[in-house]
Structure 1
Amino acid sequence: MDIRILGSGNAGQVPVWGCHCVACERAKQDVSFRRGPCSLEIRTERGVTLIDAGFTDLAERYEFDEIQRIVLTHFHMDHVQGLFHLRWSERPEKIPVFRPDDEKGTDDLYKHSGVLDFQTPFVPFNKVEFDDFSITPLPLFHSKITLGYLIEKNNFTLAYLTDTVGLPDTTHTFLANRALDCLILDCSEPPMPSAPRNHNDINLALWVYNTLKPKSMILTHISHRLDCWLIENEASLPDGIIIARDGMSVA
């Protein structure tokens, strides 16, 4: 199972259009510092599973037969906008799309789904066994109904938790009873005097790291504001915390 971070940015991505901060200027000069829409690729011998579909060029990145399934964390546009192009394929086959229980979805995706076969919504904490790995949906705190996922195969355990501000007690308790090889966590903001509304800051991310104690933790859904802070302060973070980069291999 090969796991790769497709995108590590927040909705504004990096560089932010029209911004001249040090992080955005760096990303303009060096494409390795660019951040696309937050998403994950899981590749096994059976094909590719995408967690979220924020990139609008997915049809150029993947052949139709490569994508085995798509798993959505939630229906904010920066996590689903790539589906609006994929759905118009005229192939007779369908691509299963797994989702949280959000009746509204986004725009007309449900009404005009095309090749996207939206599955019965996940039930939180009910493990689903795919042919190549298992996945357990976990409730998160966000402005839309949002799920994180515990991904397990053989002896490897990964928690993917974006978008969220802190963790619900039920999710935190569930994960506290697991030995996590890796935790990929939403962290959009530098340290703030009070918690942000929809996303973690460094203070909340450190709390999650210190209480769940994963072997490693990767911060994703990163804004240009956090990148500016990291330029000066990344060395102060614990050794087990890694800053996501687009295309980075996780396992």
Structure 2
Amino acid sequence: MKLKFLGTADSAGFPVHNCQCMVCTYHREKGLKNLSTSAYIKVDNSVILLDAGIEDISNIFDGNDIKAVFLTHFHADHCLGLLRLRHSAQEINCFHPNDKDGFSDLFKHKHSVCYNEIEGFSTQTIENISFTTIPLKHSKNTFGYLIKTKNKTIAYLTDCAGIPKKSLEFLKSHKIDLAYIDACYDERKEVGNHLNYKQASDILDELKVKEGYLMHISHTTLEYILKNKIELKYKYVKAGDEFLVD
């Protein structure tokens, strides 16, 4: 059983259109790209999606049984792929936080997607894997997820500008094997809709995670890290990275 990242960037991804920074230039020259943060758990020929912000997600998983989609929130870079995925020949369950507006006309034209609104600290079990919602601070109602497999406890915490006290205490009550947290900004920005890598690292320290990783990086943050030769306490995950979670 593997957790794999389709993308680990912010909403702009990279390369950014016509941007000539060193990060975008490198990715463009090498034919590489890193899209919006999105991941999935693969169980045999089935998948469970953590967000669906990549537009081509219906083709990426064509031929796979999608057991469920767990949305963190309804910003476009986390649910854009549902616009096409909803036309699937398969009925797909999507679990999400309360959001009366949702995104685009997803609620109006549901097609094959069944939307299931869930509460904070509630648990859904799919394929013997439990997903517990963790309320986060963001500009939209947003959940992270505490994911438990047979032998691993995983914290998936994107997007967030902070973690409420109740959520933090809940996370601290678990021994977390793998944690992935929003670290979109560099140290020059301390206030916004996301964490910077120092703030995110402090949270990982407080949670005493066994392995911690940063995600939701922007091209400007990555360029700042590279230009200033900054040694991070925790690594950023890259698009294509995968982790054993049995």
Name the TM tier (shorter chain): over 0.9
Instruction: Indicate yes or no: 2:230 matched with 1:202.
Output: no
Please give the alpha-carbon distance, in whole angstroms, between the structure 1 residues aligned to 2:228 and 2:204. 17
Tell me if structure 2 keeps the 8 A contact 1:6–1:39. Answer: yes
Q: 1:172 to 1:234 in 2, by over 3 A?
A: farther
Matching residue of 1:173: 169
Measured after TM superposition, the shift of residue 29 of structure 1 is 1.8
* Mapping for residues 117-128 of structure 1, pairs under 5 Å: 117-119=114-116, 121-128=117-124
Q: Say what the alpha-carbon RMSD is for the aligned residues.
A: 1.5
**Are 1:190 and 2:186 matched, yes or no?**
yes
CA distance in 2 between partners of 1:60 and 1:127 (Å): 29
Q: Does 1:9 align with 2:4?
A: no
Flag the structure with higher strand content: 2
1:245 to 214, 238, 243: 238
Check the 8 A contact 1:216/1:242 in 2, yes or no: no
- Retained in 1: the 8 A contact 2:34–2:239? yes
1:22 has 2:18 as partner: no
Distance 1:101 1:173 in 2: 22
1:66-145 equivalences in 2 (<5 Å) = 66-89=65-88, 91=89, 93-119=90-116, 121-145=117-141
User: Per the alignment, do residues 198 and 51 of structure 1 end up closer, same or farther by CA in structure 2, a change over 3 Å counting?
Assistant: same
Segments of 5+ residues of structure 1 without an aligned counterpart are: none
Q: Choose the corresponding residue for 1:219, options 211, 214, 223.
A: 214
Q: Aligned partners of 1:233 and 1:149: how far apart in 2?
A: 33
State how 1:144-163 maps to structure 2 within 5 Å. 144-163=140-159
CA shift, 1:150, in A, is 0.4
CA distance in 1, matches of 2:94, 2:29: 36
Q: Distance in 1 between matches of 2:137 and 2:93?
A: 25
Measure, in 2, the Cα distance between the counterparts of 1:152 and 1:81.
27
CA contact (8 A) 1:133 1:152 kept: yes
Q: Matches of 2:110 and 2:74 in 1, distance apart?
A: 14
Q: Distance in 2 between matches of 1:158 and 1:10?
A: 21
TM-score for the superposition, normalised by structure 1: 0.92
Q: Is the 8 A contact 1:5 1:250 kept in 2?
A: no
Aligned residues: 244
| % identical aligned pairs | 32
Unaligned runs of 5+ in 2: none
In 2 relative to 1, CA 172–246 (structure 1 residues): closer, same or farther, beyond 3 Å?
A: same
User: How far apart, CA to CA, are the structure 1 residues paired with 2:227 and 2:209?
Assistant: 25
Determine the C-alpha separation between the residues in 2 that align with 1:25 and 1:65. 34
SS in 2 for 1:236: coil
Match of 1:17, as an amino acid?
Answer: H
Deviation at 1:122, TM superposition (A): 1.4
The 3 A distance-change label for structure 1 pair 166 and 190 is same
Structure-2 change in CA distance of 1:65 and 1:35 (3 Å): closer
TM-aligned CA deviation for residue 60 of structure 1: 1.7
Question: How far off is 1:65 after superposition?
Answer: 4.4
Structure 2 residue 59 is the aligned partner of structure 1 residue 60: yes
Aligned equivalents of 2:214, 2:70: Cα separation in 1: 20
Superposition TM-score, scaled by structure 2 size:
0.94
